[in-house]
Amino acid sequence: MPLRRVSRPEALRTMPESASSVATGIRATGESVSNTQETLAGEGTPAGWKGSASEAASNQFTKLSGDLDSAVAALSKAATAMDRYDDRLQRLYSRRQTLTEEVSSINGQIDAYDADVAASDPEDAEAQSALKARSKELERQADALQGRVDGWNADQDAADAAVISALQSVDTVAEGDDAAKNPNRPDAPELADRLKDKVDAGDPEAVATWWASLSPAEKQALMIHSPELVGNAGGIPTVDRDEANRTSMYSDIDYLGEREKDGQLTDLEEDQLENARGALKTLESYKDRIDPDTGENTAFLLVFRPDAFDGDGGIAMSLGNPDTADDVTSFVPGLTSESSSLSGNIKSMDRLMQLADGKNGDDTVAAIAWIDYDAPSSDDGMTDNPWDFVQVAGEGKATDGGERFAEFVDGMRASDQGSQAHFTAIGHSYGSTTVSHAATDNDLQVDDMVLIGSPGAGSADVATDLMDNGNVYVGSADYDPVSLLGGPGLGALGHDPSQDDFGAHRFEVDPGSYRVQDLMDNHSSYFNEDSTSLDAMADVVAGDQPDEVDGRVPGTYQPLSDLLAGTTIVSGGEQAWNGIEYTGGKVADGVEYTGGKVADGAGWAWDRAEDAGGWLGSLG
């Protein structure tokens, strides 16, 4: 008699990421209502109102404030229910993955058994006895597995029923009033004050311990009342920070979007709305990054401060969960970096993460783009005089940014789960100076440091000033002018870490183009796909040693003045040659036209040389 096959578990009717999105939407609505309720609660009657008019207005304010508070209580319960539902769905998703593999395996064994039965000799008593024993064992395994599959189906039904019941319990005005009056309702303002005190004390370990002690209802109440506080607090788990920051993001987009329609946006609010929309667009572009074990999205918004730094904004995003990853890297970009730079920087982190993930065996990787400091920037960009940025900024912004970055890393360390992750900090351009100050001034808690395209390592004279273990890795393209700013005779932002006497591990980097118009492209090329620098950084992130090259020694490389002059001459000659080549064969006016092109090329080269002189002069 053929054995029956085990049926697969039912499909998940709701994916964890969908439940999480609904919970975020509920929280964002709750935050908006909570803000309105608190505003009304603090409002008195209009100035000059007296008598019955004043009393009537006061009564209306009180009633409306109470109604809104009931709505907040209902939304808080709904968000808690959805969050619990999300957790159950994650467990169901993981179990289903395992069950599906087991079903496939046992059904395959049954198919093989049926084939062996069909091919067996009915007269072979020993073979038939073995087949019967095998049949009995397969039947036992199949029955047990079918029982687990049926249990899984029942658990999904129970999860759906529970969330529906929870939402129905607060879907009327009366039920909202009951939720608001419940003596066990979390006191969100008081919880927010306690969290703020712990954050201000600068102890992310204490924040982590306190947060873990809260009930799910208390956490949800806090994320509705003060999502910006929760989302940016070091020590709070990545998943919760992401939920809180997405709550703030959606709330800002809704509220400021309405003000935009009404023409009421201030300049700062306009920047804030643009930053929120940019963050959402970037997150949406990674919505397909799903954890195969939980079904959850693996792009996390770790910092969201869209109005910081006079509207430039502060932001950090991770691909992969740094709380659970084995290898974690956080990247600090340089000049002109702000919230609007997130998309390009997270793409660089994606390339780095994918490459590192292929180098570290079964270990997992998380890569963070951190842009939560006031990097030097200008409305005119860097095209006219890039070196003025370095001259004007000095080390002040790097010093302040270094303190913020060290605090961020401390927070990530505090929320880490299991064995402590191998953590690599990467700084590019002015960001390398910022990372250096995080190390020398604030005891940056990382295992390895990578400085690329560095204009200077701040106050560090040698690599061990940055890392006691000497694990400082440096990438500097030969034709990257910014990486030459810390060379002998310059050093406005500190020592060039790629110099041999600095003592860092210098890895190989593609030299770049020897044309003056390409110099800044050379400076921004370190994360280019298939580049030697990207491969070397992936080695460091994965805990390996990259191939090393000799450090810079004066006389063995072109200093900045020679590079600018040489590339200017090459580019000017190229312009002139293009003019000659273009007019080849034009007999009638070739001489006159070519002469003009040669003159244009010479003039262009002279202009670039003047620019170079101006740049160098600004550094003197």
pLDDT in tens, 413-457: 999 998 999 999 999 999 999 999 999 999 999 999 999 999 999
In this prediction, residue 337 has a pLDDT band, given cuts at 50, 70 and 90, of: confident
Q: Considering only residues 592 and 279, tell me which one the structure prediction assigns the higher pLDDT.
A: 279
Residue 568: Cβ-neighbour burial (10 angstroms; 0-12, 13-18, 19+): buried
Q: And the tokens for 200?
A: 């201000």
CB atoms within 10 A of CB 379: 4
Q: At what angle do helices 386-393 and 430-442 cross, to 10 degrees?
A: 20
Q: Give residue 343's pLDDT.
A: 94
pLDDT in tens, 5-60: 999 999 999 988 888 889 888 988 888 888 877 776 666 556 666 666 566 656 66
Cβ neighbors of 284 (< 8 A, separation 6 or more) are none
Q: Does domain 190-541 have CATH number 2.70.240.10?
A: no
Which of these, 341, 333, 332, 330, lies nearest to 365 by C-alpha position? 330
pTM summary value: 0.84
Say what the alpha-carbon torsion angle 155, 158, 164, 165 is, to the nearest 10 degrees.
-150
pLDDT in tens, 506-564: 999 998 888 888 888 889 899 999 999 999 999 999 999 999 999 999 988 888 888 88
In this prediction, residue 403 has a pLDDT band, given cuts at 50, 70 and 90, of: very high
Residue type, 85: Y
Cα atoms in the 13 Å half-sphere on the side-chain side of 23: 29
Asked if residue 482 has pLDDT above 80, the reply is yes
Cα atoms in the 13 Å half-sphere on the side-chain side of 49: 11
Q: And the tokens for 52?
A: 């019955």
Any idea what DSSP says for residue 163? H
d(CA 238, CA 328): 13
Domains of the chain by residue range: 16-185, 190-541, 560-618
Any idea what DSSP says for residue 8? P
Say what the alpha-carbon torsion angle 579, 580, 583, 585 is, to the nearest 10 degrees.
-170
Least confident of 88-97, 120-129, 231-240, 581-590: 581-590
31, 227 contact by CB (below 8 A): yes
DSSP per position, 65-114: HHHHHHHHHHHHHHHHHHHHHHHHHHHHHHHHHHHHHHHHHHHHHHHHHH
d(CA 515, CA 166): 66
Asked if residue 248 has pLDDT above 50, the reply is yes
CA distances from 95 to 10, 21, 83 (A): 12, 22, 19
Q: Give residue 171's pLDDT.
A: 85
Rg (CA), the chain: 31
Asked if residue 610 has pLDDT above 70, the reply is no
Residue type, 74: A
d(CA 512, CA 578): 22
pLDDT in tens, 355-377: 999 999 999 999 999 999 998 87
Which of these, 619, 585, 578, 617, lies nearest to 601 by C-alpha position? 578
Q: Give residue 176's pLDDT.
A: 86
Handedness of CA 332, 334, 336, 341 (dihedral sign): negative
Cβ neighbors of 383 (< 8 A, separation 6 or more) are none
207, 414 contact by CB (below 8 A): yes
SS3 314: strand
